[in-house]
Amino acid sequence: MALVKNGNTHGLDTWWYENGTKSHEGMLKNGKPHGMETYWHDSGQKYWEIYYPQDGVCSHIEWDEEGNVVKIVLSKAATKPIRKLTPLLNQKNHTKNDLSNN
């Protein structure tokens, strides 16, 4: 549950679709995304996961509605996000061609 402290939102922020399925969830620190943030399709299938480190350099992974990895973006300067996302690289139907750098 997110709380407001000194005018900024802190903590776990969760949103839901009207059908009761979780829409997205992530941590906020000083009103800004911090750490891992996850989004889901309204079917409940994971859609997008992004990692916000303290330095603001992000990495993310996207899935289609069938659970196939469709895009992976690993920031050149990001090392911790790569470690966090590495287990996701083994998800269903992933190939090395899905990997891109920004």
> pLDDT digit string (tens) for 22-78?
999 998 888 888 888 999 999 999 999 998 876 666 788 999 999 899 998 877 655
Give the residue extent of every domain in the chain: 3-101
Alpha helices in the chain (DSSP H): 80-85
Strand 22-29 to strand 8-16: parallel, antiparallel, or no bridges (unpaired)?
A: antiparallel
Token pair 């061609």 is found at 97
Kindly indicate the confidence band of residue 102, based on its pLDDT and cuts at 50, 70 and 90: very low
Total length of the chain: 102
Strand 46-52 to strand 32-40: parallel, antiparallel, or no bridges (unpaired)?
A: antiparallel
Instruction: State both tokens at 101.
Output: 């750098």
Asked if residue 75 lies in contact with residue 58, where contact means CB atoms within 8 angstroms, the answer is yes
More reliable by pLDDT, 85 or 58: 58
46-50, 87-91, 97-101: lowest mean pLDDT where? 97-101
Asked if residue 10 lies in contact with residue 30, where contact means CB atoms within 8 angstroms, the answer is yes
At 53 the pLDDT is 75
Does pTM top 0.75 for this prediction? no
Architecture of domain 3-101: Single Sheet (2.20)
At 57 the pLDDT is 65
